[in-house]
Amino acid sequence: MTAARAWWKEAVVYQIYPQSFNDSDGDGVGDLQGIIERLDYVASLGVDVIWLNPVYQSPQADNGYDISDYRAIHEAYGTLDDWEELLDEIHARDMRLVMDLVVNHTSDEHEWFQRSRRGEDGYRDYYIWREGETDEYGDPTPPNNWGSFFGGSAWEYDEKGESQYLHLFHEKQPDLNWENPEIRSDIYEMIDWWLEKGIDGFRMDVINLISKPEGLPDGDPDSDPVGVEQFANGPRTQEFLNEMAAETFDDYDAMTVGECVAIDVDIAGDYVSADGPLDMAFHFQHMQLDQQDGWWSIEDWSLPDLKSVMAEWQTDLDGWNTVYLGNHDQPRIVSRFGDDEEYREASAKLLATFLLTHQGTPFLFQGDEIGMTNCPWASFEEMRDADAKNRVALALESGDIEDYDEAREVVEFRSRDNARTPMQWDDSHNAGFTDGDPWIKVNPNYEDINVAAAETAEDGILSYYRELIDLRSDLDVLVYGEYELLLPDHETVYAYRRTLDEPSVDVDDVLVVLNVSPTETGVSVPVDTDAALLFGNELDASDASSESHDSIDLDLQPYEARLYDLS
């Protein structure tokens, strides 16, 4: 059955990390006017929606995911007037704006937390406070064994509050107490305030962590982070999300995408099915393939495993998928899933093909459209990521590592800083990102990898993205078509078929073949029809006819991607 149409199903989303996109005033930090300056570029990609990472007032302990005022703009980014101008300019280019909604926690500098820690009337219960026990030295011990996503205990003793508060992320990000109806109505009011301004939706940060289980029971000490099975998808998640939708989104034509940790395809269905509270969800199952043993290990991911995750979501999800390979929290996609050296260009195009030809709304991260890579870090001092820094500090403290060198390989790969180096606009000083001192290192490869150079490369990564986004918007089959995995066990070739049961369209059957490897590969794909080449990253590929009538034989170049019309 073909899914019901919706604008957000047909949309391609482009994620902008404001701190690192474009600096208009020379303070080394990207800003809203800087984004406005580059909107023609964003529109030229053919994308429909911009998702903006948090731009709210924040002390920036976690780059804006620690909000101290939901209704104000972070000073370094500009003012509310700049934001209004940005919204208008985005709409003037027929694009839409999706904001980040961070309501599992606030900053400890938020007025609510300030009042809560002082025990002001009505505010104590805005956050999750527990007494806990004391140890033999009289120091407080954590009320349970839950761990923070950034390493260490999820509890912090607060002198002023004279007890401990829960923070599933940074200690400057106390978790809100969603059990308290007051907090819920304050949040819904805030959501409405933004929707009334005319935004087109929200990406909801760790939204399935909002309901904590009664009694906050200890978690399995081997889980990562400890307690995640207790605090993710808690008992009232569905109820809270339904309430939120009824009080806010249901009155608007807004799109909602929830970032959901620790979900599988069945749990996701509860959130995103036709009568579920959200339109879409981000899951992490493919992000975990190279870290099955946790953050500190880098394992080889295998293509059959990636295929099996993709195929399960593509075929079994009761609802609409999201498709992403990277974002502001993950390594650069070409460095993780492709080859950022010899085959950077081919593999970046292959990954573009992956992102734009699955069933689901594609989310592209800034810079991937020019094949930006992980950064060569010269020292730990260059790192900015609170997550990586905290983990290293804790590992040093506990003696798990003796010095930074022992952690170096993992940190340099996994640090969220890799995604956060400034957007590379041209080969001028600081890649054209800022006239000042950038807040984070510019990847030195900007002299070769930058938008200006990409604009002049005729068959480069950038034009490939543009053409493929165009093709996707022309072909309903790429949006609404059913997905069928072929060759599930093939070690290096990922092949799938998209078919649409729609007699009026010309192209209703498309084969996607991706050679996810640096070696030339011959493969026999089990489709029983002639195949006309539709698109690909190798110019001399040709139509393939099936001699045996039950398969076609293809000879694929390293990281070659092809789309065939089987209609």
User: Which residues participate in catalysis according to the annotation?
Assistant: 205, 259
Which residues are CB-contacts of 444 (< 8 A; sequence separation ≥ 6)? Answer: 375, 376
Which structure tokens are listed for 23?
């600096």
Residue 83 within binding range of ligand TEU, rule CB under 6 A: no
Question: Alpha-carbon distance 536 to 333, whole Å?
Answer: 19
Residue 102 within binding range of ligand TEU, rule CB under 6 A: yes
Minimum CB distance to ligand TEU, residue 168 (Å) = 8
Minimum CB distance to ligand TEU, residue 197 (Å) = 23
Site for ligand TEU in 255-284 (CB under 6 A): 259, 261
Site string for ligand TEU, 367-406 (x = CB under 6 A): --------------------x-------------------
CB closer to ligand TEU out of 46 and 151: 151
Which residues are CB-contacts of 378 (< 8 A; sequence separation ≥ 6)? Answer: none
What is the identity of the amino acid at 345? E
Minimum CB distance to ligand TEU, residue 327 (Å) = 7
Q: What is the DSSP string of 172-197?
A: TSPBB-TTSHHHHHHHHHHHHHHHHT
Element (H, E) at 43: helix 39-44
507: left (phi over 0), alpha (psi -120 to 50) or beta: beta
The interaxial angle of helices 386-398 and 404-414, nearest 10 deg, is: 160
- Residue 426: CA count within 13 A, CB half-sphere: 8
Rg (the chain; Cα; Å):
24
Beta strands in 304-414 (DSSP E): 322-323, 361-365
Backbone angles phi, psi at 341, to 5 degrees: -115, -105
Residue 205 within binding range of ligand TEU, rule CB under 6 A: yes
CB closer to ligand TEU out of 212 and 416: 416
CB closer to ligand TEU out of 62 and 156: 62
CB closer to ligand TEU out of 170 and 498: 170
Residue 65 within binding range of ligand TEU, rule CB under 6 A: yes
Buried b (16+ CB within 10 A) or exposed e, 64-78: bbbbbebeebbebbb
Instruction: By CB under 6 A, name the one of 31, 62, 171, 279 that touches ligand TEU.
Output: 62
Site string for ligand TEU, 156-175 (x = CB under 6 A): -------------x------
Site for ligand TEU in 406-425 (CB under 6 A): 416
Closest residue to ligand TEU using C-beta atoms:
65
Which structure tokens are listed for 428?
């001028």
Residue 109 within binding range of ligand TEU, rule CB under 6 A: no
Percentage helix, strand, coil, to 5, in the chain?
A: 35, 15, 50
CB closer to ligand TEU out of 169 and 564: 169
Residue 305 within binding range of ligand TEU, rule CB under 6 A: no
Residue 149 within binding range of ligand TEU, rule CB under 6 A: yes
Minimum CB distance to ligand TEU, residue 63 (Å) = 7
CB closer to ligand TEU out of 259 and 412: 259
Question: Alpha-carbon distance 293 to 254, whole Å?
Answer: 38
Which residues are CB-contacts of 228 (< 8 A; sequence separation ≥ 6)? Answer: 147, 219, 261, 262
CB closer to ligand TEU out of 340 and 387: 387
Minimum CB distance to ligand TEU, residue 102 (Å) = 6
Residue 154 within binding range of ligand TEU, rule CB under 6 A: no
Residue 363 within binding range of ligand TEU, rule CB under 6 A: no
Residue 484 within binding range of ligand TEU, rule CB under 6 A: no
Which residues are CB-contacts of 159 (< 8 A; sequence separation ≥ 6)? Answer: none
Minimum CB distance to ligand TEU, residue 476 (Å) = 32
Q: Are 74 and 53 in contact (CB under 8 A)?
A: no
Binding site for ligand TEU (CB under 6 A): 62, 65, 102, 149, 169, 205-206, 259, 261, 328-329, 387, 416
